[in-house]
Homo-oligomer: A and B are copies of this chain.
């Protein structure tokens, strides 16, 4: 018998229902475009590689492989490397969280934290509350569990308490990114944080607080975390991606007690544990206070770039464009004048040599097609100026072409 003779021409593979809702990331597809030569990308949220602590990494990698090579290369605990968990615990406790090391889980970036939370907390049809707009990667991480997204109304200061009060009963959690949000760059002020927590407590909706950008402040440090205001009702996510290097894929979760064991089981089932070598190298880099010197150098760099983008936007964007310079993080959020669809204009922009992310992808519902996200952390100031000038040119040409005179 020759098995291949029995092969049917139809595929034997049958996809899960959830696949129908899993679509290629718009950002991902756009990033491919931006790899074309001659395109200046304001699209991706790529930290400047100039900030990566290469020397420290090299020394740490050599040290780890000299001192503890067997442990660094062996299977390890699903919870993560003990001393790294202790380090996170100390940092988070100093930030006001209830964060003993035994409730800290090391993850492959905070993106994996979102995946694990979705697994542990979402059934098909469960409601998840998100900001308007919200981080696209969170929508992608939760979607495989087939939840229903409830977009909470937001203003410049973040989610409105009234919106939280109106959430459906049984909403599993609200996902919030209070510091220099991706994509809007907004920071939630202290008073609003108290209002959000109070509303969430009254509604019985716990919070998932994502804080990848909190250390990247350029004017003043953000208010203390939501988790410091409602310890038992807030799961907190942190990351080394923006203060060390994103390619390491290293983040962490501070889990409330009722969740830790299930999140840990989900982590074990997902990939056993985060890489031992990477965890030990990062711990070696940061153990003796490295970040206290390193992070201010990142802030100094990005502050200049933020200011360069603010100046360029003022100089080049057409009248009727709206934005607010962020006080931290990585992004400007721009609303274009009436008649501009950021997605429709993207091909023209790429043709002109500049790329951005259309804002529509960041909305769980009722997308605002006039919005777009610009990153100021990847390019140097002169390149930011050049890229924004090109963007301004594309927008002005478009608006002129569609003006009554041209029609």
Contacts and interface: CB of A to CB of B under 8 A. Distances in A.
Interface of A: 1-4, 6-8, 11-19, 22-25, 28, 44-47, 49, 52, 54, 57-58, 61-62, 65-66, 69-76, 78, 107-109, 111-112, 115, 119-124, 126, 137, 140-141, 143-145, 170, 172-173, 194-195, 197-198, 201-202, 204-206, 229-230, 232-233, 241, 244-250, 256, 258-259, 261-262, 265-266, 268-278
B69 A57 contact: yes
B256 A13 contact: yes
A302 B263 CA distance: 35
20 contacts: A3-B198, A6-B198, A7-B232, A12-B201, A15-B258, A16-B126, A18-B119, A44-B75, A49-B70, A58-B69, A61-B65, A74-B247, A108-B274, A112-B271, A124-B124, A144-B266, A248-B277, A249-B271, A250-B275, A278-B278
B269 A13 contact: no
Given A4-B230, A12-B206, 7 more contacts: A2-B194, A12-B201, A13-B121, A19-B120, A23-B265, A57-B277, A115-B271
Contacts of A230: 3-4, 7
Number of copies of this protein chain within its complex? 2
A197 B6 CA distance: 9
A74 B248 CA distance: 8
Which 5 A-B residue pairings sit nearest by Cβ, starting from the closest? Answer: A247-B276, A73-B245, A49-B70, A3-B197, A108-B271
Given A19-B120, A46-B75, A6 B201 contact: yes
A111 B8 CA distance: 30
Nearest to A170: B14
A130 B245 CA distance: 40
A15 B121 contact: yes
Contacts of A2: 194
